[in-house]
Structure 1
Amino acid sequence: MRLKAGMFVAALTRRLFAEGGMAAIERRGAEEAGAIFIRIRHRDGSESLAAPAPQTAFDDDHPEDRLFEIRKSRVQESEISELLAREARFDPDIWVVEIETDSPETYLAFAEE
């Protein structure tokens, strides 16, 4: 069974804080099943955006896993903000979580390319 979006976000933020990272909920979405977007801040001031992976990326053996894909990598903050604004107009139930970590793959599962 897949974790509810609110529970996943709470666990992610707690884990980051526990390990010395930073996380903030920028936008609260639907508690049950809102799409989760992760805004990744890098030390050089750039940002990356992890978005929900398409359904085709899911493995039949583990359909409950929450997978992400990098939608934008090391771009300016404004580019990420614009993309998130478009996503929110399309789906007002999205979550946006901002994290600061050198290794997001430690906390998120990414779909294979």
Structure 2
Amino acid sequence: MDYLKALRDDPDLAEEFDSLFDFFLLDELSPRDEADGRSTFTLPGMAFARDGSGGEYHLLEDGSIGYYSSEGEAGRLAESMDDLFSLIVSCICWHDCCDAKEYADSKTLEEYGQRQRNINLEDM
């Protein structure tokens, strides 16, 4: 499924998707911000969406998805658009799961996941 086309073709859906998942679709693919000192990807790509904090989603040359955080961190977020949308919908606050110290061992990660799940459910 072409998720970006579906969102572009239905502005109401795009607005609702942004409201629920903090995913603002850009009107078109755009060159990424490559200001001095900013992290970069090893593959060429173009920005296609942003989040409320200023992070950018990038479609990379190989079809994978990169993400620039507003703090200047960069990395591959998903292997495909299908994987990205699965992540966004399945883990609404996926940014909250990026704290490396919580991945020390299985028990710590499980406890962290349960805490985040409970926080997200309370927020909803």
Both structures adopt the same fold (TM-score exceeding 0.5): no
Higher strand share goes to which structure? 1
* Larger radius of gyration between Structure 1 and Structure 2: 2
TM-score (norm 2): 0.28
Higher helix share goes to which structure? 2
Ranked by relative contact order (alpha carbons within 8 Å, sequence separation 6 or more), the top structure is 1
TM-score (norm 1): 0.30
